[in-house]
Amino acid sequence: MFVDSHCHLDRVDLSPHQGEFSRLMAATAAAGVTHLLCVSIDLPRYPAMRALVDPYPQVAVSVGVHPNEGSAADPEPTVEDLVRLAADPRNVAIGETGLDYFRSEGDVEWQRARFRTHIAAARACAKPLIIHTREAREDTIRILREEGADQVGGVLHCFTEDWAMAKQGLDLGFYVSFSGIVTFKTAASLREVAAQVPLDRLLIETDSPYLAPVPHRGKSNEPRYVPQVAACIAALRGLPVEELARATSENYFRLFGVERIVCSPASA
């Protein structure tokens, strides 16, 4: 049993599945992926995403606005907006949120303000955070501390930073999640981090449709590829892949408060 703890199902290329979302979900189940977390990155597309996954009880959702999403014409999310949407029983987290200085130019104070809004919402509804961080290590950790994010915890998703940042996140009660990047030839230093994160604080993900793992690199990513991420990390740690899968699945259920779902053929 594998869990894909972070994917964007509404953005996955369905052409390999004859354009049918149900076929994508069947292929996911056939790969042994039993639970998924479909993560929001903007609010205008959230209702359609939520409706898409509604027939599939094994899919949980989050609500949030990515630090690189939105335009000047879009209103900034408020704490009230996020808390209202998070009241949905299928909603298990706030995010993804965080800081991304790689794609941003000029004054990014608006990103930091948006990040603080998400943390406040997570505290208000007592749900964990899904954190995106890129080239913003110091500010990410600083704001998590300043805003009391340790009260709700969460996950540093698609982790690509160093052990020092992973350790700071762990000290704040966060989990650390690895995507297909860990399988890339250029990711030797990241694999060193993946080998050190305590097994009871480790998650795996695809971040579909982005960052497909080897041997699918360069293709559109799908949740059915999360076993390749698990196999890579299991080999690093000298564990059977089944043990890695079991541990990361338990971590997912514990962090997000998700109940195990036994799917009928109609919901696979």
Kindly report the pTM of this predicted structure: 0.95
Classify residue 102 by burial, with Cβ atoms within 10 Å: 0-12, 13-18, 19+.
Answer: exposed
pLDDT at position 191 is: 98
Q: Is 129 helix (H, G, I), strand (E, B) or coil?
A: strand
Alpha carbon distance 6, 19 (integer Å): 22
Q: What is the pLDDT of residues 160-190, one digit of tens each?
A: 999 999 999 999 999 999 999 999 999 999 9
Q: Give the confidence band of 212 by pLDDT, cuts at 50, 70, 90.
A: very high
Average pLDDT on 101-124 reads 91
Percentage, residues of the chain above pLDDT 70: 96
Strands in 80-190 per DSSP E: 91-100, 129-134, 154-156, 174-178
Answer whether residue 159 shows pLDDT above 90.
yes
In order of 35, 36, 60, 160, 177, the CA distances from 231 in angstroms are 18, 18, 24, 18, 14
pLDDT at position 72 is: 58
Query: What are the structure tokens assigned to 49, written together?
Result: 């995403």
Average pLDDT on 39-46 reads 96
The class level of CATH for 2-267 reads alpha beta
Of 12, 11, 48, 38, nearest to 27 (Cα)?
12
Q: Give the confidence band of 265 by pLDDT, cuts at 50, 70, 90.
A: very low
The angle, 0 to 180 degrees and rounded to 10, between the axes of the packed helices 241-256 and 226-237 is 110
